[in-house]
Amino acid sequence: MSTNYGYLYNIEGWGDPYFAVNSSGNISVKTNGVETTSEQEIDLLAAVKAATAKNLQFPLILRFPDVLKHRLDSLYTAFINAIQYTGYNSHYQGVFPVKVNQNKDVVDNLVNFGKGHVVKFGEDHYYNFGLEAGSKPELLLAMHSLINGSPEAYLVCNGYKDMDYISLALVARTIKLNTIIVLELEDEVDTVVAASKKLNIRPVLGIRARLLTTNPGHFGSTSGKHGKFGLLEAQIYANNSACSIASNYFTSTSDMSVAYGFEEYASAVVQAAKLVCNQNGVQHPVLCSESGRALASHHSILIYDALSVVEDPSDSVSSDELISRLDELVGNPTKLHANLKSAVRSRDSNNNTSRAHADQLKKHGVEIFKLSRRLAKQLEAAGETTYSYHANLSVFSLTPDFWGIKQLFPILPIHRLNEQPTQKGTLIDLTCDSDGKIDQFIGEALTLPLHALEQSGGGYYIGTFLAGAYQEPLGCKHNLFGGPTLVRVDSTAGSSGGFTVELLATGPSAADQLKAMHHDPDEIMNDIAKQGAEADDWTENIVKKVLGDMPYLFGAA
């Protein structure tokens, strides 16, 4: 029996119950979680090969809508169980914040799945799953999608609003959508009243409460008294409005992760709601939560190929020299800190001195961090050679959260996991930017176990997992690289490991990217062709092909 090297990437830790390594050494997708039989598992490499057989270009995003449905089913099952066991006298129905992934296929799938139900405790429990919008374009797409959704589904309107936004939300009620306008600012009350009178449409309102509880984590700036969102208690009472219950959980083990699953989450919410309502003699309300990343992350996998590998040069500075530099830097912040405290206590009227000392302290901290990382990388390598794998992707376009906030995604080869990886590597993207690399991985590792590329030229495919939330809408056009090819993979009932592959959308072409920056591709092609030699068809043909293809590279088939 061959060895399974999936443990090197902690697949059981982050991938259970949807991802595993099969007997061929490939990642398999278990679309129904723990209920998936071995015959129902989809071989991820086979799905990639099926996509490339259709001449689809890397990078690819493979969507598994069955996984998305299973996530929604699991969320509702958790709340139904918690409500039953707690004796809560109402029900749960959630919404998907479309900011997480506005792609039509994702939104429409969730709305369609949201019309479903489950039989539990001898009763039918209907999902009535809805959407949450935070801008006018998001509201338009949510309205369009929910026309075909459950009539009882909520359409929650969040975000800052003007007269047009509020008027559109009121129009949504006239087409029989269960629309709730959530107030974010005091001024919005007057706008809602004016729009409601003008259109003669009665609104349903909610209020976003700004909790005083603060979060020390990465997103702490959005919490507490000075947070960006919501109304404070005094503002709520000043507007003669009723405040609903809100809860927040700061149980993360890092500054961006959560340490609870659906069951713990649902149980905590239901118990807290019941307790507070009972203490205040309030009827138990319908529980509604927005679940975005928890629903969308697992069903979408980014796949790209490694184009080449180069050996990293050894660090020109020794570990002893780095330690000496660190010793020098670590001694200085004490003085800088004292200067900062002195400036603050002297209450410098312009705060200029305080700011200058704070900036110095920050720069020192950054230098210490950089040197520490460099030293850690040297120690981790411990005399071993490390390699740079040139990957067919743009970090800025496809995993912007890694570049922007250093969110770590599970990354691993999707095949050859029955072979021991022999090299430690980092991933270098196609952009002309020193930040265009992935050199930090799950488990605080600075390198990733990878295989040597096959001499025969066969492709080496790497997957970034749990990236179905936020990455596509946040991606930018650095070096005019764009989005990936989108592919839908559906399991086929009754066939062992059967699936179908459907192209949802090709990634934007070079011409599309140029148009987005206000260049005219036709003008570019014509002017370049004019400069070519007469009767030379090559110039026009080559330019035309490059304009029509995605900006990414063509690697091994």
CA distance 269 to 149: 26
| Given 277, 288, 432, 476, the catalytic residue | 432
**Nearest Cα to Cα of residue 160 among 141, 178, 199, 187:** 187
Residue type, 51: A
Residue 432 annotated among the catalytic residues of the structure: yes
Query: If you ran DSSP here, which 8-state letter would residue 419 be given?
Result: S
For residue 211 the two structure tokens come to 């909790």
Buried-exposed string 128-148: b where 16+ CB fall within 10 A, e elsewhere:
bbbbbbbbeebbebbbebbee
Residue 303 β-bridge partners:
60, 463
Lookup: tokens for 476: 């930018």
**Alpha-carbon dihedral sign for residues 388, 302, 56, 536:** negative
**Which stretches within 382-415 are classed as H helix?**
395-398, 400-405
Cis peptide before 508 (omega within 30 of 0): no
Burial 208-240 (b: 16+ CB within 10 A, else e): bbbbeebbeeeeeeebeeebebbbeeebbeeee
Q: Which residue is it, tokens 């559109």?
A: 168
Tabulate helix, strand, coil % of the chain (nearest 5): 40, 15, 40
Query: How far is residue 343's CA from residue 454's CA, in Å, rounded to a whole number?
Result: 61
CA dihedral 216→221→227→230, nearest 10 degrees, is -90
Q: How far is Cα 524 from Cα 510, in angstroms, rounded to an integer? A: 12
Residues labelled catalytic: 432
